[in-house]
Amino acid sequence: MRSWWRGLAMAAVAWTGIVGCGSEAPKRNPQASAPSSPAPAVSVSGALAPSVPAVSSESVKVLSSRGTVLVRDENKGGTYRTVDKGSSVGTGETVLSFHDGVIASANGKVQATLRSDLSGKNPLPVLESAVVTRMPSSGVDLELKLSRGRVDFVNTAKEGKVTIRIVGPFTSSDLVLASPGTRVEVEIYGRWLPGSRFAALPDNTKYVPENSPVLRWMVLVLKGEVEIQHPLSSFSLKAPPGNALIQAQSINSERPVPEHLDALPDWVNEDPKDPEVAKTKPALEKLAAALASHGDPSKAFEEFSQSKDPVERIIAVYGLAAIDELEKMFVIIRSSKQEDVVDEGIIALRHYLGRGPGVDQAFYKFLMTHQINNQPVFKPSQAEALIDLVYGFNEEQKAQPTTYSYLLKQLSNKRQAFRGLAIWHLERLVPDGQKIGYDPTDEESARELSIKKWRDKLTELKKLPEPPPAAKPPVAKPAAPKP
């Protein structure tokens, strides 16, 4: 059964179908990756918006109840905190929500709801949503950097239009909501394509689409009329029936064209009778209550990781990744005897790495400082290989025998992380192998028995490279004739 959180697994397998850009992995562009100052955002007017937001006492106000929104000050760093309803959020702070966190612009003219995909039917498998607040530019009512996820904007002004500036990794767009009640949804989701290969980059690298995960954008008008103003083009959209949808991606993308819809897609409004919604929404409501009662959000996720409810355990894994508590997530994955925790932990890492430019580099640095019993776990080449395993394999690689021999070899790796990733891939590439029962946490003797069975299974299916032909015995030279 496909669950809400398990929707990411589907995206991991069928990502090339989602973004429509084939199976070729984005290549590292040496020129694009050269050291440079960070690229400033481009505003709609063509002027350069500041790459670091100015400090302000208030940028947005929280309208939803305590526990639905987490906030982190990006100017000072640190961890996420839970905030009360009515709290003010300053410029340069990240607002994170797992579902139905609501904020409003400082002038009260725009309301934004941070949503997620409860039913698993959304084309983009959004697990959580996060925005970074910015000081609104002149003539702009609400200005946000949309880091990831799904945000539902509504014009709540008493009269007239409102302007929302959405700042992305590489450019910006203005959304003009024509009249009160106008509603538009904006989504962004990123993923490294299967077959991508990691490369460590200098700290002052300029990030461009070629050295970043593939990002897909979607704008859908739910009510009224919206004009999208972009430095390169503008579009007019209206709620169905009409040109209501526009989609784009960061690489290999043609100029976006508005799409006509006769009606809104079913996934827009979550049906409470949908089995996945009915199963997941109570768990998220319980999470909001736990977050409201804890000063440290990671404590709530650690409690969820011990739950008997598989939905809550999976939320714990994704939640710790969402608030950047990777060390605590790794501890839970290593110590858990629940298969779903380990399984979803790998998918959570894919989701984490796809957030946006530079996240893969931050994860690499985390691996290089990761320790067990005060001992470093990874060398640079090992950390790079681990990230490549998280990215996975494209269709061409899946057809190559060397892929299977590599994964088989990793089942004997001394590091549990490699063993866990190797069996995760093998069981998806060769479903019949799931009956073998390899456990990366078993003692070496037990693992070796399972590895032999895997070798036999892959040999039977002709997945491994053909062994070299046996050497022929040397031809004996005829004895020299006697004189």
Which residues are within 8 A (CB) of 375 and not within 5 positions of it... i.e. 6 or more apart? none
Give bridge partners of residue 384 from the DSSP assignment.
none
Q: What is the pLDDT of residue 36?
A: 39
What percentage of the chain exceeds 90 in pLDDT?
66
Closest CA to 23 of 354, 348, 356, 398: 398
C-alpha span between 196 and 178 (Å, rounded): 42
Q: Which residues, listed in sequence order, are joined to residue 205 by a DSSP beta bridge? A: 35
pLDDT of 57: 58
Q: Give the mean pLDDT of 234-239.
A: 95
Give 278-294 pLDDT, tens digit per residue. Answer: 999 999 999 999 999 98
Per-residue model confidence (pLDDT) at position 476 = 66
Band of pLDDT at residue 44, cut at 50, 70 and 90: very low
Please check the confidence at residue 38 and state whether its pLDDT lies above 90. no
Position 205 pLDDT exceeds 70: yes
Class of domain 7-261: mainly beta
Specify the pLDDT at position 401.
Answer: 96
What pLDDT does 47 receive?
28
N-to-C CA span, the chain: 86
pLDDT at 168 over 80: yes
Structure token pair of residue 66? 């305590």
In 329-386 the beta strands, taken as DSSP E runs, fall at 371-372, 375-376
Compute the mean pLDDT over every residue in the chain, rounded to the nearest whole number.
85
Average pLDDT over residues 299-321: 92
**What average pLDDT score do residues 322-335 get?**
88
Angle (CA) 42-123-64 rounded to 5° is 70
Q: List Cβ<8 Å contacts ≥24 apart for 331-334.
A: 332/302, 332/305, 333/420, 334/416
Nearest in space to 80 (alpha carbons), one of 91, 95, 63: 95
| Burial (0-12, 13-18, 19+ Cβ within 10 Å), 478 | exposed
Burial of 236 (0-12, 13-18, 19+ CB in 10 A): middle
Question: Is the model's pLDDT at 377 over the cut of 80?
Answer: yes
Strands (DSSP E) found in 224-274: 225-229, 234-238, 242-249, 259-261
**Alpha-carbon distance 278 to 283, whole Å?**
9
Judged against a pLDDT cut of 70, whether residue 39 lies above it is answered with: no
- Given a cut of 90, whether residue 479 has pLDDT beyond it is no
pLDDT bin (cut points 50, 70, 90) of residue 213 is: very high
Write out the two tokens for 220: 């859908």
Give the pLDDT confidence score for residue 474 in this predicted structure. 73
pLDDT band at 107 (very low <50, low <70, confident <90, very high): very high
Residues 6 or more apart whose Cβ sits within 8 Å of residue 295: 81, 82
pLDDT of residue 28: 43
Stronger pLDDT, 235 or 336, i.e. the higher one: 235
> For residue 467, what are the contacts with CB-CB under 8 A and spacing of at least 6?
none
Output the pLDDT for position 477. 66
For residue 374, name the pLDDT band (cuts at 50, 70, 90): confident
What is the per-residue pLDDT across 396-443, written as a single tens digit (0 to 9) for each? Answer: 999 999 999 999 999 999 998 899 999 999 999 999 999 998 988 889
Residue-wise DSSP of 182-237: -EEEEEEEEEPPTT-------TTBPP-GGGS-EEEEEEEEEESEEEEE-SS-EEEE
What CA–CA distance (Å, rounded) separates 252 from 459? 38
Highest mean pLDDT, choosing among 51-65, 130-144, 293-307, 342-356: 130-144
What percentage of the chain carries pLDDT values higher than 70? 86
Residue 304: both structure tokens together: 């969820």
The C-alpha atoms of residue 147 and residue 144 are separated, in whole angstroms, by: 9
Q: What is the pLDDT of residue 455?
A: 96
* pLDDT: which is higher, 272 or 32: 272
Q: Which helix (H) or strand (E) covers residue 391, if one does? A: helix 380-391
Residue 273: phi and psi, rounded to 5, are: -85, -10
Which pLDDT score is estimated for 170? 86
Quick one: pLDDT at residue 16? Answer: 33
Q: Where are the domains of the chain?
A: 7-261, 282-460
When pLDDT is cut at 50, 70 and 90, the band that residue 478 belongs to is: low
pLDDT at 470: 72
**Rounded Cα distance, 304 and 338, in Å:** 13
pLDDT exceeds 70 at position 46: no
- 370 band by pLDDT with thresholds 50, 70 and 90: confident
Mean of pLDDT values over 113-137:
92
Contact present, 241 and 261 (Cβ < 8 Å)? yes
Question: Per residue in 79-91, pLDDT tens?
Answer: 999 999 999 999 9
pLDDT digits over 243-252, tens only? 999 998 888 7
State the average pLDDT over residues 176-197.
96
